[in-house]
Chain A
Amino acid sequence: MSVTTATPGWARPRTRPGWLARLFDSKPFLIVACLFPAVGLLLVFLTYPLGLGVWLAFTDTQIGRSGVWVGLENFQDLFEDRVFWSAVFYSVFYTAAATALKFGLGLWLALLLNHHVPFKSIIRAIILLPWIVPTVLSAIAFWWIYDAQFSIISYVLVDVLGWRDTYIDFLGTPWAARWSLIVANVWRGIPFVAISLLAGLQTISPSLYEAALLDGASPWQRFRHVTAPLLMPILAVVLTFSVLFTFTDFQLVYAITRGGPVNSTHLMATLAFQRGIPGGHLGEGAAIAVSMIPFLIFATLFSYFALARRKWQQGESND
């Protein structure tokens, strides 16, 4: 029985914690200490630049000359600026077209990958490639692909297949350039959509499909009544992010066309940069950037209210 009793004559000593230990036990100190890094970073790198940008939008600041408060003058100027309205139109069009294509193709890819296909993991890795390549590198690659003289697409169509007689001028005319940029953006954006939706698809229990099969659902009905509604929550999140990223896109457009030809491919972001930094009119550039905010808020609210939480996802509570 001696095994179960502790060695006699020894008691665990009571230690009095040092001041450091007591400091780290105090809740107010911990709250401040833990919040400080996050709040500090947010204030310095998000709130301050955003506030400065909004303030600049109401001044006539130029590079090298601090400006004065001019009220809504910058916005009044923009309201009559055809280039600005063209950038607004193209931003919306670019976002709508690219998002529609990304989601169509991304969902299709995700559905394909959700089946048992050979070399599944390799294919998944390959699909992720466009996403991990730095944007500017892929932009330069597309720039070459769209080059008026050295385009590989033109080469294949004209010299290899002989389907066309002339080289395509991808970036020379407004609409060709607009669509070319949309294609580049879709190529870059598909992996994000496809992988996110694939993750969503994999959360759907296979037994639901089996139950639907026994209930007599055709493949289309299984998609419509099981896959689509169950994918909707993640689809909403991915859609929101995709719209935000696409609407605020800058790198692809600036690297491939710099807004040309004749300002036809300016997005609001590229136009803001163009006016603000190379053009030197910081106030006007900031006003353009600030004009993006309502669009972004609208997109976020739309997906939040229209798509996000459904009643069936909510907790155990009775209605």
Chain B
Amino acid sequence: MATVTLRNVRKSFGSTEILHGVDVGMADGEFVVLVGPSGCGKSTLLRMIAGLENITAGEIDIGGRVVNDVAPKDRDIAMVFQNYALYPHMTVRENMAFSLRLAKAPREVEEAEVQRAARILGLSELLHRYPRQLSGGQRQRVAMGRAIVRNPQVFLFDEPLSNLDAKLRVQMRAEIKELHQRLRTTTVYVTHDQIEAMTMADKIVVMHAGRVEQIGAPLDLYDRPANMFVAGFIGSPAMNFVRGTVRGDRFVSEGAVDWPLPPPAARGGAGEGRPAVYGIRPEHLFPATGGIPAEVQVVEPTGAEMQVLARVGGAPVLCAFRERIAARPGETIGIEPDPALAHLFDVETGRRLSA
């Protein structure tokens, strides 16, 4: 068990800098998810914590010890790889026991640890199998078992669920979360899937193009995204953005559409006459007669909700209605945002203006 602290961590490949100074603090026992689109540097950051990539600048601190120059095996971490990286020529038992065997642990310790991990993960029946003979979910569990056997201070997961089908992914998501609640080991988890991040994390680190965009608890990120990137990345379907100007108590967008603003106390830096971006999540728009006129383009019923893509004054706006409405493409319906849940962003920087 340990804290993990990244201080101004940078990474360059040749002259290309791909991590531009990352600062993250992770508390003992916390489940931290690094999330971001492909190429944002999240996997590289994880590999730097593991010691598989060297650190160009800055410090990585695990349990109060700077590990920049510590060999991977001495960092007291265990990693689960995206492709599991199970040794194909070893049985499940040998795969899990490999690190103990290399450390010359006594056979009783080795056996006890393997049995413990197998019990936790429900692998006891499969110990004599080879990876080839396992299903995707079982391989995933063996990879976790290999990590558990080592009793590390920190677990590192590199997109561990991306090779599984959708249903199994949901199931393994719950299993990993449950495992963490049981073992309470500090965990760093990399994914590009914001739903995984939202459902599993104690703390989410949203990364974009080698920078940290925002760090916070899942619901904080959802309720108060620090900028347009986080606002658009967290939440599904993604937030709608409309450009316009603050006019008194209303926000006026292209085509003279009036949007209700949050109460004055929550508007922050969005003063009168200021150009801004108005952000509203699809699930915070409601059908209302006499509301903002919206021309329906596509209707997608998912059962739980109706997703309606509409044009509002020329801007595409996606709505997710809880109630079923009988709208057809081409018709005009009225929509009404919940003003308390609207966000305002700066046009230039994308930063959040509303409080």
Contacts and interface: CB of A to CB of B under 8 A. Distances in A.
Interface of A: 205, 207-208, 210-217, 221, 225-226, 229-230, 310-319
Interface stretch (B98-106, B191-199, B210-218, B299-307): B98-106
A208 B73 contact: no
A230 B88 contact: yes
A207 B73 contact: no
Interface of B: 50-52, 72-73, 77-79, 81-83, 85, 87-90, 98-99, 102-103, 128-133, 146, 150
Nearest to B102: A216
Given A207-B81, A217-B102, 8 more contacts: A207-B83, A210-B81, A211-B79, A211-B146, A215-B102, A310-B89, A312-B89, A312-B131
B89 A229 contact: yes
B133 A230 contact: no
Contact of B87 (A208, A213, A214, A221): A208
A230 B89 contact: yes
Contacts of B77: 214
B131 to A, nearest CB: 8
A226 B85 CA distance: 11
Q: Closest 6 CB pairs between A and B?
A: A216-B73, A215-B99, A207-B85, A211-B85, A229-B89, A312-B130
B85 A316 contact: no
B102 A316 contact: no
Contacts of B73: 213-217
A318 B130 contact: no
Nearest to B129: A318
Contacts of B128: 319
A210 B88 contact: no
Contacts of A221: 102
Given A205-B83, A230-B89, A317 B133 contact: yes
Contacts of B85: 205, 207-208, 210-211
Contact of A216 (B52, B90, B99, B133): B99
Given A230-B88, A310-B89, A312-B88, A215 B98 contact: yes
Nearest to A228: B89
Contacts of A207: 81-83, 85
A122 B43 CA distance: 33
